[in-house]
Amino acid sequence: MSKKKKIGYAVAVLAVLAGIGASGRLWMVMDSSRSAVADDKVKLADFHSDDRAAIKRGEYVMRLADCAACHQTDFSGGYKIDTPFGALLTSNITPDKQTGIGNMTERDFFNAVRQGRGNHGFLYPAMPYTAYSKISDDEMHDLWAWISTQPAVSREIDENAGMNFPYNIRLAMAGWNMLFFDNRGFEIDSARSEQWNRGKYLVDGPAHCSVCHTARNLLGGEVSDGYLQGGSLGDWYAPDITPNPHAGIGKWRDENVADYLRSGSNGESVAAGPMAEAVEHSTQYFTDDDLQAIATYLRGVPASKTAPAQGYAQDPQRQQRAALSYEVNCSACHGLQGEGIKGMVPAFAGNNAMQHDPTNMIHAMLRGARAPHTEQRQTAAGMPAFDWKMDDQQIAEVLNYVRNSWGNQGQQVTAQQVTTLREHTGAGDKLKTPDAR
């Protein structure tokens, strides 16, 4: 056989093997045999569970999965999620036949939640089926029982009307799933404790922590070596929650983790933005045992290798101007020495969480922020917006002062960073003083 023919033969063999491998991978991500445990005859609109224990457990699963934060408190959807590929509107998941999921059977429901296949085809991973795939059969049965008791709401949602071409073609998600979707249930690690396994199940499954706290690649897949090390949410940033003492939660005790998830505050950090929504709708309802399990697991994952932040030496004149601005605008709540107000307003002094990515601090300065309303913290503290009062340079100077005072070290925040986020968040411009004539 000639050398040319040998090369051609080898290429053909490799192509066949690649095709077999791709077909096998596609079969794996499309396999829905796990859902065979669910009923495939009765539609949701025709089913109303009378199993009170299952309904109660199902409500808890709903809290674990934070369904209300995205699907609204009446579960009729319409919540806007901005992605790098366009805007999504969350779906109506009430038992309404025309506009909700009333025509789904329990098996359809299992496939939607755990495999990302809904009424209109493949779902986008903004609906975290990539994590929900870990939810157990028992908890899925309970969730189905609970959702059957919810009122049907007629609300038509055009879910991907805001998605840019070609990302609005749902069939393309089959290829995305082949690359990034792990279609497997939760696997217990017998070498670990029951508490650790419960924590991992919650973090990787219904609570879907990595969906926000892990960086994503250009196609929207989670970066495998960045697990829980922080990720961009567009206008917000989900910080590192590994045991890194400089950038993560390495200095938190188990009770600090539990307090933060239960109340939205632990003396150092106060939840805001999407995390405030998660605490308000979801984590405040977790049992003490589940909160402890999450703390146990998080404090045992590999710590990120993020080094301590490097400080920025601000120009003395700008620093003096920023210090005065801080005293006038910020010190009433955050304290003259950055001490904050325990349980309500985060302390700045020695706060590792604010010394790295400045996105959340810029966002809070521009648009304001609100802490979650929880059973533990009935009075949810709020921060006013300063977009109308400060220009981009003034905001950057205040943040540079805060991030480099009281023992803090943070890299420079630039006026351009503030400008960019002002545009992305739709914040207003600083008010201009009318010319006196």
Q: What residue numbers does the annotated binding site for heme c cover?
A: 67, 70-71, 209, 212-213, 330, 333-334
What are the φ and ψ backbone dihedral angles of 117, each rounded to 5 degrees?
Answer: -125, 105
Nearest to 219 by CA among 178, 181, 176, 177: 176
d(CA 364, CA 252): 24
C-beta atoms surrounding 364 within 10 Å: 20
Lookup: tokens for 406: 């009281």
Contact between 67 and 128 (Cβ < 8 Å): no
At a CB cut-off of 8 Å and minimum separation 6, what does 50 contact? none
d(CA 28, CA 23): 9
HSE at residue 235, side-chain half, CA atoms within 13 A, is 20
Lookup: tokens for 21: 């491998």
Nearest to 64 by CA among 348, 290, 274: 290
Cβ-in-10-Å burial (0-12, 13-18, 19+) of 256 comes to: middle
Q: Could you tell me which residues are annotated as the binding site?
A: 67, 70-71, 209, 212-213, 330, 333-334
